[in-house]
A = this chain, B = another copy of it.
């Protein structure tokens, strides 16, 4: 019934989060006014405070929603890739290619990473929110490290790298690639960096 891309209008709360996400990624959290959000979805200021007790609650909800969505995406891509291949290395290489394609297919390029945005404004948030961002990155490290370890068990690394670092590298390149793409106004740069990462992984485990 409730599709992810619903035809009918989404609940107000979700509309608020969507408007907020776009605004925060374009102007930062502090410069995102509650007024503009309520204008965008057509409710009153009091209506906003019915859904979020204050602006900090919006910040947290925004972050949770973003992390959740990313995890769903990673799960999905990972699932599809492992279906296609028994071999852990081959499967991971397929996964990375899929990831690059997903990034490539976003109409105006990746809109931005909430974690990166928050990171550069972290004094605006409480420790709770900061902890959530750190945990999200930690989760991705574990996710990718697990895959890398399964690969390393079959393909002994030809290059001496720490698997934690190699797992973190995908997060770093994603965030860095998004920044490159946004600043240089070229959506291709992000997927290209992902493909470079793929080439590196290949070199580490395959030696070419």
Residues of A with Cβ closer than 8 Å to B? 25-31, 112, 115-117, 119-124, 130, 133-134, 137-138, 158-162, 165-166, 168-169, 171-177, 179-180, 182-185, 189, 192-193, 195-196, 199-200, 202-204, 207-208
Contact = CB atoms under 8 A, between A and B. Distances in A.
A127 to B, nearest CB: 11
A195 B174 CA distance: 18
Contacts of A137: 180, 183-184
A100 B161 CA distance: 15
Nearest to A114: B120
25 contacts: A26-B121, A26-B123, A27-B30, A27-B121, A28-B28, A28-B30, A30-B30, A31-B123, A117-B120, A119-B179, A120-B120, A122-B182, A130-B183, A133-B183, A134-B183, A134-B185, A159-B208, A160-B199, A162-B192, A165-B193, A165-B195, A172-B179, A172-B189, A176-B179, A203-B203
Nearest to A185: B134
B199 A172 contact: no
How many monomers of this chain does the complex have? 2
A171 to B, nearest CB: 6
B166 A172 contact: no
Given A26-B123, A117-B120, A207-B208, A196 B169 contact: yes
* Highest count of chain B CB atoms <10 Å: which of A122, A177, A200: A200
Contacts of A192: 162, 165, 168
Contacts of A171: 176, 180
Nearest to A201: B200
Nearest to A32: B30
Contacts of A166: 196
Contacts of A25: 120
Contacts of A175: 175-176, 179-180
